[in-house]
Amino acid sequence: MKRLRNLIFVLGDQLTPQISSLKFGDSRLDRVLMVESMEEATYVGHHKKKIAFIFSAMRHFAEELRETGWRVDYIDFNHLENRGGFIAQLEHAIKQCRPENLIVTEPGEWRVLQMLKQLKVTILPDDRFLCPIADFKRWAEGRKQLRMEYFYRDMRRKTGLLMAGEKPAGGVWNFDAENRRPARADLLMPRPKIYPQDDTTRAVLGLVASQFGNHFGDIEPFNYAVTRSSAEEAFENFLEFALPSFGDYQDAMLIGEPFLYHSVIAQYLNCGLLDALTVCRRVEAAYTSGRVPLNAAEGYIRQVIGWREYVRGIYWLKMPDYAEVNFFDHQQPLPDFYWSADTDMGCIRATVEQTKEYAYAHHIQRLMVTGNFAMLAGVNPQRLHEWYLSVYADAYEWVELPNTLGMSQYADGGMLASKPYAASGAYINRMSNYCESSVYDVKLRTGKQACPFNSLYWNFLNRHRDKLASNPRIGNMIRTYDKFSVSEREKIAASSAEFLAKIF
């Protein structure tokens, strides 16, 4: 039997026809292997919707490849030859088709990279990202602080996005100060487009219900786009209806409005159905044609070519040690209400409930509600990381881990963020209407009726004063705490201890 030239292994987040492994190959000579792996679906207990989304998108992608002439060995979950994990599957495939080369584009996770390195495999760079890993390492070299803002400016220059020659469009790089408006509940909210389930998706939903029924989250309603063309349409829908207000209401939160003016496309970008640079060029074109204001276009582009590329750079720069960081030495377990939503705190209830239903929460809900609470309460950052990695449809370790450990928990001691994103209930009350649905009173600092974020916030600052007092962005809050009367400080300590004893 003639030996196969290349066996190209395509992972579930590599659903891009122009990905480096497929560009390297030739559809007339080579074969593609894709596998629905039990090991990958269960190494953390992913949300049911996330598993269903990825399996359905993979099946559609395999069809897309076949239509363009590729031979695809698709090993679905119940396939008789499914070996349950990547390495066992690849060893089996190598025995069967004896390829001259095994080819793969570099995976998004350090864990998977270590796994693949056990085999004789050619690993190609993932050029869907705008900043190659080696370029980021060069950028980081010799810098004392790795601030996203400076990286972002370089990315603007490199891509030419929103540039007027050497200068940023509008004269400044960043319009964040304009992007902090609370939303009003009577505004007309856009909604992400809803996609009907086809036979492939229905089959996957049945599979997930039977095999992963004990995982977190609701499987229905399932409305995601699962093909490239529908993901592109979902993004166009965002451009037209939500992007114009994206900037203004980027940080706002409202009961019953899980999406507000966000794009809800991270799950498509991260699995390869959408391309980051194309998305940004479309946003730029919407600005230059006068359809969206600059603060919206700049704010959006910064998230994609700035934050998204930057956290990936940090991940590959700092792994594997980064996964273990715990600057504050926080050791509490994750409270049960992160899974059940059974809490009297309106903001956490709303965020966890929508997470269960949609496998989605927007950035400020992740950062300032569930992330902020966990840090104030002293939850172990690694337990929290497992939660974020499990519950969101867009969660892959390269993007989730630096966001959780670095940005939201300050567990790296300030490498990624210049100060901890710690806030009392007043911030949540300003940016949302959640407090209206809370049993607690956000105006009270201590006592049984007081919003727990308040005493926890002051208690957190006092507890970690040795690590935070010299921080120019938060040290002044410790000095404010020190001006409280002794009895007020005692009440803060007692209120937070009482609340923590109740939840742990």
Applying CB under 6 A, which residues contact ligand FAD? 262-266, 269-270, 300, 303-304, 307-308, 311, 362-363, 366-367, 371, 388, 392, 394-395, 399-400, 403-404, 407-408
CA distance 253 to 364: 8
Alpha-carbon span 356 to 370, nearest angstrom: 14
Nearer to ligand FAD, 4 or 367 (CB): 367
Range list of H helices, 36-174: 38-42, 48-67, 86-97, 110-116, 133-140, 148-159
387 versus 458: smaller Cβ distance to ligand FAD:
387
Least CB distance from residue 494 to ligand FAD, whole Å? 30
CA distance linking residue 51 with residue 57, whole number of Å: 10
Which CB, 370 or 455, lies closer to ligand FAD?
Answer: 370
Question: Residue 31 or 302: which CB sits closer to ligand FAD?
Answer: 302
Nearest distance in Å: CB 329, ligand FAD: 19
Nearer to ligand FAD, 25 or 420 (CB): 420
Shortest reach from residue 405's CB to ligand FAD, in Å: 9
State the CB neighbour count (10 A cutoff) for residue 87.
14
Give the residue from 10, 8, 17, 11 showing the smallest Cα distance to 228: 17
Shortest Å, Cβ 398 to ligand FAD: 9
User: In whole angstroms, what is the distance from residue 284 CA to residue 168 CA?
Assistant: 12
Pick between residue 364 and residue 492 the one whose CB is nearest to ligand FAD: 364
Least Å from the CB of residue 33 to ligand FAD:
26
CA dist., res. 73 & res. 503, Å (int)? 49
Q: Output 90 or 283, the one with its CB closest to ligand FAD.
A: 283
Shortest Cβ distance from residue 273 to ligand FAD (Å)? 12
For 30, residues 6+ apart whose C-beta sits below 8 A from its C-beta are 4, 5, 6, 7, 8, 71, 103
- Write b or e for each residue in 267-277: b if 16 or more Cβ atoms lie within 10 A of its Cβ, otherwise e: bbbbbbbbbbe
Nearer to ligand FAD, 75 or 253 (CB): 253
Residue type, 57: A
To ligand FAD, the closest distance from the beta carbon of 93 in angstroms equals: 30
Closer to ligand FAD at the Cβ: 345 or 395? 395
- Least Cα distance to 303 among 355, 243, 350 occurs for 243
C-beta closer to ligand FAD: residue 396 or 434: 396
Strand 101-105 with 122-124, pairing: parallel
- Buried b vs exposed e over 470-493: b needs ≥16 C-beta within 10 Å? ebeebeebbeebeeeeeeebebbb
Residue 496: alpha-carbon gap to chain centroid = 30
Least distance CB 442 / ligand FAD (angstroms): 22
Q: How far is CA 225 from CA 66, 185, 222, 228, 233, in A?
A: 20, 27, 9, 8, 9
- Please name the residues in contact with 184: beta carbons below 8 A apart, sequence gap of 6 or more: none
**What is the distance of C-alpha 433 from the center of its chain?**
24
- State the Cα angle at 424 between 422 and 425, rounded to 5°: 135
- Quick one: which H or E segment has residue 32? strand 31-35
Whichever of 238 and 499 has its CB closer to ligand FAD, that residue is 238
Q: Map 340-401 to HEC letters.
A: HCCCCCHHHHHHHHHHHHHCCCCHHHHHHHHHHHHHHHCECHHHHHHHHHHHCCCCCHHHHH
CB of 9 or CB of 316, closer to ligand FAD = 316
What is 290-357 written as a DSSP string? TSS-HHHHHHHHIIIIIIIHHHHHHHHHHTTGGGG--TT---BPPPTHHHH---S-HHHHHHHHHHHH
Considering the complex, state which of residue 403 and residue 446 has its C-beta at the smaller distance from ligand FAD. Answer: 403
Q: Tell me the closest approach of the beta carbon of residue 456 to ligand FAD, in angstroms.
A: 18
Q: 314: closest CA among 197, 245, 199, 412?
A: 412
CB 327, min distance to ligand FAD, A = 16
